[in-house]
Structure 1
């Protein structure tokens, strides 16, 4: 139940919905029960030939509704006739039905508002928390499973939590109201019939016993299936190029079959609860008809025929709320299992956060300095005691064999990760002492992979500055050598570029990314060489754009091409996580070490 109440906390402000819902539900239950109770005076009016001869006395309590209505029907029949008495009874039934359904409508409206509020708060919380997690988390988790939790699991939770809350208040209230009327009619008969209800509850509980375990397996399998779908769609070119369609479809089909098998087993248990409860209900009614009928035949009960018919009608309805409660308990297992997965995502704490006393960094004036920085992925050390300086206004190139730690070193500057030991300083301030938002506001990033969104060219360039004008976006595009090809597209800057920029060439995508970095006009640029995967013509256009971008800025470049490296002010050679060499292009060539060998091979990995 701890999970359930945690999920319920997302329904805040719950008082806004709870009080109107409780009030409307109680009134709906009262009038709905009264509908059946009014059958007694209706039958009495229709079939009692002596109705207008004797006025029934008024009972001491208005809670004895059968005697109250009998008093009024006999009074009206004796004074105005049986037709007028029938009109009175039918009018009361019609008014009761109208009021019962009206209050049920208001109760359902209130609960729907609560459901939507719960979904809004839950999905907002889980998505916000995911966005605040560090990059390392996404390297270890399947994206499809995260999508499944945010989309599918949250949907299951919001319906189960609010639906169960609705059933666990409304149905018990309805059940209690039926029992109250039944006890008023005949407490002996009701006590006997109540002995059968625990037996029905025990049978149904055994049917739904394994549902939570199956629900957990169901959500996990669904998450895996979405992961395979996401991977297949993202890698569709490779899948087809390597004739791997059979392997991919087979892997997906295996999870799909497993999910279907679990769902079928769960459905069998859930659907079995309803016919079992109905069968038990019919058997109970049959037993009560026999027992109560024998009491009336032998003149041993205090009921007449019309009251007994109403008793049977009421008791036949008592299994409906009981069945709804049992169904709610079977459904809650699925909701709790989904809730555990969602809460696991919400409880995931970001490894990198702002210090409580973090200050805002407004400018970059001196240098970025690494002092004895080390970093490892698990037991694999990637950076080992790195000490380097990146002076303001300089272009620093990182080169070295693949796996040397270049990308990791660059990711430490915007605090995508934190070093295990050592310090990184910006203008003498430890990066951990400044807010990440103000730190990243000073940086522009261009990755080797062009990361774009399924939106217009304008919105992709203005991504980091939504308030940018068209003139500002055009100016950034000109610096990035992108304006000419943009105006030739179908709708210019309003052209949609497709998923991940699929409607553009590789060089065009990179120039859009460069324009995006230019627009924010950051003093510090982090460039994971953007030309390594391009053809010669595109490379020249992008390289010119990069040269424009780096003017009058501090730049840290992961370099793969000689054209970028030889113009750098400082070249840092990383090998096995250590600084192997450092200097200008000419100095390192004269040193005759790793750098010269790499230049001769002209292979620079990531």
Structure 2
């Protein structure tokens, strides 16, 4: 499903830029013309100096003519650079938009298991920051770096035209500068890759910190108590400090060498002048051009320093771009009745075993409750059914067809999952309800809302179904969000519905009414209910007890109440909780019950 991301990132960058190669070529052509116009004033200056030194008879007229050409060159340079930047920016923003569309499309079709392995902070950085860096390279650096490379090249040609010995003197420092650049650029690619990873970790920690800020304020905590944030900040600071200490000395040496060629030009020029092999105007011109001819290479060197960070980010785009569409999978008849079977299913995180050879059968139209302590592996069952995880061994079968052979679309048409962690999108209540069934009728919506015990909630909202909710439903309580999510799962019209702690925020009375509503309104659906307590589900077709990843018991309420110690204890706690209240002691009782 995913190819390995190899190389330096250059192939990916060139491939992205190739989408607008026509506009980029035109931008570079205009840049070349602009560079020529930028160097024309030096040729004009050379003519003026030569005219002065040779005491030309028509000096005022020559100066007037040269001034006119100088004005034309400056205007042309400005216009050509402006047009070059226009086309490079046009190309860059088209590449930016196209790349983001491609990334979002790839992520939309990515397998849930792949998304589960890649943190949202890393993916956010890829789609936003890493792509933004690509835009900067194409819109600005393409023009500026090309100009910075072409300008010294044209100056060198001009210097060789004046005198090849003066030209070699001007270029004498180039090998030393390249050596210094090579030394201080060594290993920076790996350092910038580490910088990118550290920045992504800091980004994820910052998002988590901001999301948890309300909770921290409630407990009067500040950033100093958020250990992850402090650790990420310290790592980032240490990395930047180390990177600066390694690059600044070499960079200083490199910049100094680029301006040191005058030390070679002057002795050579004086010697040639004394030998009457060059004129004074030629020496002046070579000194003027030579002293600044290598300065544009500073921009090139800075580009190659900055591009390491960009390429490190582009390498993270590659796994997303390389994701191949899911196979269509085997055609499956999703008409009811369907039978769901776990056949010796095992799952582990690394060396830690979560589920151990689970064998379960869920008959069509049945209600199954999965109970067990925290960490027993209950939610892992839901994630396996939802496609967020893949079993390490064993099979999950629907009507005899392995779930692993189905596409995500086929799986979603068979199984709907509602979990305790509810996500509501920014929009209206009706938009969120119709997420899995865009064409659901008013009757179907009313039935789902009724079964989810959300009728009173909808009636209390200012605009009913059209009430707008913020992202993640933060204007609603936890129980209200859960009811909307449950109704959304019911509307998906799948034969199997998984409720993973989806009623955890509901009170006991609402839970009983909810489960009764499922029986009444959806008698043909198969429900897998994962919970810490079985309150209100005494009539479930089967109750499964899972401890330490293994099935300890399976049966009805009455059989487990007689045979399973864990279920007996849980049931007794639930009964005590229901009968417990706060008030005046009844009949002088000193127990926990008050009336």
Q: What band does the TM-score fall into relative to the shorter chain?
A: 0.7 to 0.9
Question: SS at 2:295's partner residue?
Answer: helix
Contact residue 453 and residue 510 of structure 2 kept, 8 A: no
Q: Structure 1 residue 8 and structure 2 residue 14: aligned?
A: yes
Aligned twin of 2:56: 50
The one of 395, 406, 417 equivalent to 2:378 is 406
Aligned twin of 2:279: 303
What residue ranges of structure 1 are gaps of 5+ in the alignment? Answer: 53-81
Aligned twin of 1:318: 293
Give the CA deviation at 1:29.
2.3
Deviation per CA, 1:150-175, whole angstroms, max 9, x where unpaired?
44444445535776655554322222
Deviation per CA, 1:126-160, whole angstroms, max 9, x where unpaired?
55555666656666665445544544444445535
Determine the C-alpha separation between the residues in 1 that align with 2:92 and 2:148. 18
The one of 537, 540, 552 equivalent to 1:568 is 540
Determine the C-alpha separation between the residues in 2 that align with 1:182 and 1:469. 80
The one of 20, 29, 32 equivalent to 1:23 is 29
Alpha-carbon distance change, 118 to 549 in structure 1, aligned in 2, over 3 angstroms: farther
Give the CA deviation at 1:39.
1.9
Deviation per CA, 1:500-558, whole angstroms, max 9, x where unpaired?
32221222111211222233333321112433333456546755665566444222222
Contact residue 42 and residue 90 of structure 1 kept, 8 A: no
Deviation per CA, 1:311-355, whole angstroms, max 9, x where unpaired?
3332233122222222222223333343445546767x79xx855
Q: Structure 1 residue 336 and structure 2 residue 311: aligned?
A: yes
Aligned twin of 1:438: 410
Give the CA deviation at 1:189.
1.0
Contact residue 169 and residue 264 of structure 2 kept, 8 A: no
Structure 1 range deviating more: 544-553 or 251-260: 544-553
Alpha-carbon distance change, 441 to 419 in structure 1, aligned in 2, over 3 angstroms: same
Deviation per CA, 1:551-577, whole angstroms, max 9, x where unpaired?
442222224444442222333343444
The one of 232, 247, 255 equivalent to 1:255 is 232
Q: How many residues align?
A: 569
Determine the C-alpha separation between the residues in 1 that align with 2:153 and 2:310. 26
Contact residue 259 and residue 292 of structure 2 kept, 8 A: no
Alpha-carbon distance change, 288 to 506 in structure 1, aligned in 2, over 3 angstroms: same
Deviation per CA, 1:167-221, whole angstroms, max 9, x where unpaired?
5543222221111111111112112222222122323433343533442333233
Aligned twin of 1:424: 396
Question: SS at 1:449's partner residue?
Answer: coil
Determine the C-alpha separation between the residues in 2 that align with 1:267 and 1:529. 50
Determine the C-alpha separation between the residues in 2 that align with 1:354 and 1:277. 51
Aligned twin of 2:164: 187
Aligned twin of 2:83: 106
Give the CA deviation at 1:441.
2.0
Alpha-carbon distance change, 545 to 299 in structure 1, aligned in 2, over 3 angstroms: farther
Determine the C-alpha separation between the residues in 1 that align with 2:248 and 2:437. 54
Alpha-carbon distance change, 270 to 542 in structure 1, aligned in 2, over 3 angstroms: farther
Determine the C-alpha separation between the residues in 2 that align with 1:372 and 1:260. 49
Alpha-carbon distance change, 590 to 266 in structure 1, aligned in 2, over 3 angstroms: closer
Contact residue 368 and residue 542 of structure 2 kept, 8 A: yes
Contact residue 428 and residue 467 of structure 2 kept, 8 A: yes
Contact residue 364 and residue 524 of structure 2 kept, 8 A: no
Aligned twin of 1:174: 151
Aligned twin of 2:582: none
Determine the C-alpha separation between the residues in 1 that align with 2:292 and 2:109. 51
Determine the C-alpha separation between the residues in 1 that align with 2:235 and 2:329. 51
Aligned twin of 2:499: 527
Determine the C-alpha separation between the residues in 2 that align with 1:137 and 1:432. 14
Alpha-carbon distance change, 364 to 318 in structure 1, aligned in 2, over 3 angstroms: farther
Question: SS at 1:574's partner residue?
Answer: strand
Deviation per CA, 1:221-253, whole angstroms, max 9, x where unpaired?
322322332333333455456665465346534
Contact residue 11 and residue 121 of structure 1 kept, 8 A: no
Structure 1 range deviating more: 172-181 or 4-13: 4-13
Question: SS at 1:452's partner residue?
Answer: coil
Question: SS at 1:89's partner residue?
Answer: helix
Give the CA deviation at 1:493.
3.8
Determine the C-alpha separation between the residues in 2 that align with 1:270 and 1:456. 53
* CA RMSD in angstroms, aligned pairs only: 3.8
Aligned twin of 2:43: 37
Q: How does 1:168-567 map to 2 (within 5 A)?
A: 169-236=146-213, 239=216, 245=222, 247-249=224-226, 251-267=228-244, 276-285=253-262, 287-289=264-266, 291-293=268-270, 295-296=272-273, 298=274, 300-305=276-281, 307-343=282-318, 354-355=326-327, 358-359=330-331, 361-466=333-438, 476-536=448-508, 539=511, 546=518, 550-567=522-539
Determine the C-alpha separation between the residues in 1 that align with 2:442 and 2:40. 68
Alpha-carbon distance change, 484 to 433 in structure 1, aligned in 2, over 3 angstroms: same
Contact residue 437 and residue 493 of structure 2 kept, 8 A: no
Structure 1 range deviating more: 318-327 or 279-288: 279-288
Alpha-carbon distance change, 502 to 188 in structure 1, aligned in 2, over 3 angstroms: same
Give the CA deviation at 1:440.
0.9
What residue ranges of structure 2 are gaps of 5+ in the alignment? Answer: 1-6, 576-595
Contact residue 373 and residue 423 of structure 1 kept, 8 A: yes
Alpha-carbon distance change, 377 to 536 in structure 1, aligned in 2, over 3 angstroms: same
